[in-house]
Amino acid sequence: MLAKVELTARCNLNCMHCSASIYRPSPEWKTSQLLGLLEQLIDNGYDSFDLKGGEPFIRSDIFEILDFLERHDASFFLSTNGLLLDEEKIRRVLSYQRLSTFTVSLDGATKETHEAMRGKGTFHPTLEIIRRIAETREMLGSQIRFGLNYALTKVNYQEIKDVFHLADELGFSAVFVLCLSLIGNALEHKGDLFLLERDELAALKEGATVLRKIDIARQIRGLSPLEFNVELFPYKWKCRLMKWSGHYKGFITKNQCSAGVSEIYVGADGTIYPCEGVRVFLKMVEEEVGHYTRPSVWNYTINEARQEESFKKIVDFLHDYDRLFESIEPCNTCEHLRKCTICPLFARADGKVNRCTEEVLI
């Protein structure tokens, strides 16, 4: 089971597309509180952890947290902007046997583009850290998946081919293409960031097309294919990307919302949610199913929170796909609905999944 835990809302950057900025300022976990939460989650059957931020390495106790998960044989996923890392920290991170995926954010192939989104003076230091991670990973013979996080926006979409080439050159094993949430800084900069859906798909097609060529060259060099991960996009898009690239990762035949059943989310303030989407769209959810009591780790155990009546009502609501999607076009007539990883709450908030309309998919 998967637990997403927000280690901190703090960050050393203030990126223009950041959604986490909406949660700042936020209370900060004491080390003992956070370790107690992780232990409780493990005792309740959670064996996989997505460690959220903010920037995880802004915490002085980050390695104490990672050591704890390693000792308890819990796998974990860690994402960073990389700028707080040094040689010692890199080597230590890559020594963990239970770290499944380690990702670094790079939002452009050029200094101008990356720094337009992440701030001045961030591009070259990020590249240097990435190179050091790749070199150390190779030296240690690490099998940890090393991923590039690339948020696709109006600012950087024209560089997608160059980003894939750069990912290959820098030693990444995967590219995670992310789409934006309309909250925080991203909402404030909506006009500068959000692409039309047809432009998004066209950009991903360019990326997939160049990836096919990159992976042929990697095969000749005896390397594994560069993984193309677009898990946040609709199933119909994935079908096309598989055709264009041949190396899309995560192509599945069945999907069902896991919120509150095999997944849980805990914010930095200690509030427990069935999933991250419920936190984002809580007002809309409450309009549908009534007030959420917002159980917190300070007055509920994880098991008590999952048994709390308003928590269960939300979970039942999210798993009733016929009701959830009955008025959402074109999901309500799509034969791929139960294969699609699109979040029901994001779809319901918009009332229509524009990415899958005929004018986009033609």
- Give tens-digit pLDDT for 226-252: 988 888 888 888 888 887 876 555 445
- Cα–Cα dist 77/145, whole Å: 10
Q: Is residue 342 part of a domain?
A: no
- Cα–Cα dist 96/235, whole Å: 33
Sequence-distant (≥ 6) Cβ neighbours of residue 33 within 8 angstroms:
270, 297
Comparing C-alpha atoms, which of 335, 340, 339, 334 is closest to residue 357?
A: 334
- Tell me what the pLDDT averaged over the chain comes to: 92
Comparing C-alpha atoms, which of 46, 31, 23 is closest to residue 301?
A: 46
Whole domain around residue 29: which residue ranges? 2-195
Q: Is residue 216 part of a domain?
A: no
Of 79-93, 161-175, 181-195, 330-344, the poorest mean pLDDT is in 330-344
Return the pLDDT at 254. Answer: 59
Return the pLDDT at 72. Answer: 97
Residue with tokens 């989407």: 277
Average pLDDT over residues 195-200: 94
Return the pLDDT at 248. Answer: 54
List the beta strands (DSSP E) in 106-154: 145-151
Q: Is residue 127 part of a domain?
A: yes
Given strand 48-52, what is the order of strands in its sheet? 248-249, 227-229, 174-178, 145-151, 99-105, 75-80, 48-52, 2-6, 263-266, 272-273
Return the pLDDT at 348. Answer: 86
Average pLDDT over residues 109-122: 97
Q: Is residue 225 part of a domain?
A: no
What is the dihedral sign for C-alpha 296, 298, 300, 301?
Answer: positive
- Cα–Cα dist 123/52, whole Å: 22
Q: Is residue 265 part of a domain?
A: no
Q: Is residue 211 part of a domain?
A: no
Q: Is residue 206 part of a domain?
A: no
- Give tens-digit pLDDT for 116-166: 999 999 999 999 999 999 999 999 999 999 999 999 999 999 999 999 999
Comparing C-alpha atoms, which of 279, 248, 256 is closest to residue 176?
A: 248
For the full predicted model, state whether its pTM sits above 0.75: yes
Confidence of residue 48 (pLDDT cuts 50, 70, 90): very high
Q: Tally the domains of the chain.
A: 1
Average pLDDT over residues 64-73: 98
Q: Is residue 63 part of a domain?
A: yes
Domain of 94, CATH number, reads 3.20.20.70
Which ranges of 281-352 would DSSP assign to H, the alpha helix? 282-289, 302-307, 309-319, 321-325, 344-350
Sequence-distant (≥ 6) Cβ neighbours of residue 230 within 8 angstroms:
177, 204, 237, 238, 241, 248, 250
Q: What is the largest CA-CA distance in the chain?
A: 58
